[in-house]
Structure formats: C-alpha cells, structure tokens
Structure 1
Amino acid sequence: MELRGKQKRFLRSKAHHLQPIFQIGKNGINDAVLIQIAEALEKRELIKINLLQNTDEIADDVAQVIEKSVHCDVVQVIGRVLVLYKPSSKEKYQRISKEVKAI
C-alpha cells in the first residue's frame, strides 16, 4: 500500500507521541528482530524504532530492509529513529488504519 502525503502527515502526527519500542544495537538487524517487528506492527499498526549509537547500521538501509521483509511502509526517518506503519489484518486491532483510509 502506497501512502499519500496527507496520510503520511497524519501518521507522523500520531507517531510524535510514541516512544520507540525497538532498539537496534551492535548486533544489527536479524530474523528474530524482523519477526518481532512484524508482530508488533500487527497489534499496534504504528511503531517507532531507535538505532543505538553503537550500531554500524545506517537508518535508510535498515528502513529498506524492514520495508521489504515485513511489507510495511516507512512513514519517516529522522536521524536514528524510524516510524513504521502497516495496517493490521485483524479487525480488533484496526484503529489507525480506519482513520488512514478515511483520509
């Protein structure tokens, strides 16, 4: 799903108050982290990920890897913080995605 500008702006405003729930450190990004990110996106739809100072990863590269493997949308990359969005497949978790569709 390709997000339009207004939808991304809405998601950025929702994500502003969120705390990063994942931190990627010196071990980098691996399959276990990707699985956990996919599960968190299924329940929350919108999450933040923080890249720690001791990582060798570059934020844009991590964003591309996550986007391809988890099939989500990268809403924003600011410094070492990524904002990810993926509509939930379960209706009971679809709060943000209903608002995004309405925009």
Structure 2
Amino acid sequence: MLTLTIAHRRELKARAHALNPVVMIGKTGLSASVIEELERGLVSHELIKVRAQIDDRIARNALFEEICQQLNAAPVQHIGKIFVIYRPNPEETDKKPVRTPARKKREPFRTKRSFQS
C-alpha cells in the first residue's frame, strides 16, 4: 500500500472534492469485475472516488483497506460511504517536470496624463 505525506493528502482531498464517484460497489462487495473497473479508473484518472452501498461501518473500513492493498494505491479519504483513492501513473513519475520560463513583466499602459508633461 502506498503512503502519502500530510501535505500531499491535503492537496488530493481538495482535488477530489469536485469529483463524482467513478465506481459503485454493491452490497455483494468486491468482485473481479469491480477490481478491474477500479484499476481502469486509477490508470485513467489517478485520483478516483468510490461509493460503497454497504451499511456496516466496520465492513466498509475493511473494504477500503482491501481495495488499497490489492491495487497498490494510497487511501486518501473515507467519509461515510465515499472512498477517495490515489495511485500515481507510472509514466508521469518517470518524467521530469517541465518548467516554463518566467514571464516578462508587461509595461504599464500609458495614460492620457503621462503625455501631458
């Protein structure tokens, strides 16, 4: 299972706030097709929200941990029946971040008064 720093987890929580659940887990729990769908979601999005229809709180906690262990993902947040899971794409971790050059400051516009001297 992947671990995150507190600052990175906070940033991921903020990014996940606007997301809608990608996968719904029914009362039957995890199946092979659910794991495959979670895998597809993590590959394409990195950060996903999952909704579980299980009423038992302890079972939801166990389900959340099991998902993260099977997918080698990091648990970001668990509120009620909503899980937020993160796993970075391997292609993007190999790339070095591209830095854009700093912009040159634009000259201020000349006003009518600046011509009157």
User: Could you tell which deviates more after superposition, 65-74 or 48-57?
Assistant: 48-57
Higher relative contact order (CA 8 A, sep 6+): 1
Deviations 1:37-83 (A, max 9, x none): 01210110000000125789822111111111100001000011000
Q: Highest CA radius of gyration, 1 or 2?
A: 2
Distance 1:82 1:59, change over 3 A: same
Unpaired segments ≥5 residues, structure 2 = 98-117
The aligned residue for residue 32 of structure 1 is 33
Code of the aligned partner of 2:90 = S
Q: Is the 8 A contact 1:27 1:55 kept in 2?
A: no
Distance 1:80 1:70, change over 3 A: same
- The aligned length equals 93
**Residue 6 of structure 1: CA displacement?**
0.4
The aligned residue for residue 65 of structure 2 is 64
Q: Is the 8 A contact 2:23 2:51 kept in 1?
A: yes
Q: Is the 8 A contact 2:52 2:60 kept in 1?
A: yes
TM-score, with length taken from structure 1: 0.80
Q: C-alpha separation between the residues in 2 aligned to 1:54 and 1:11?
A: 26
User: Could you tell which deviates more after superposition, 53-62 or 81-90?
Assistant: 53-62
User: Could you tell which deviates more after superposition, 69-78 or 53-62?
Assistant: 53-62
Identity fraction in percent: 28
Q: C-alpha separation between the residues in 1 aligned to 2:13 and 2:70?
A: 22
TM-score, with length taken from structure 2: 0.71
The aligned residue for residue 85 of structure 1 is 86
Q: C-alpha separation between the residues in 1 aligned to 2:56 and 2:25?
A: 7
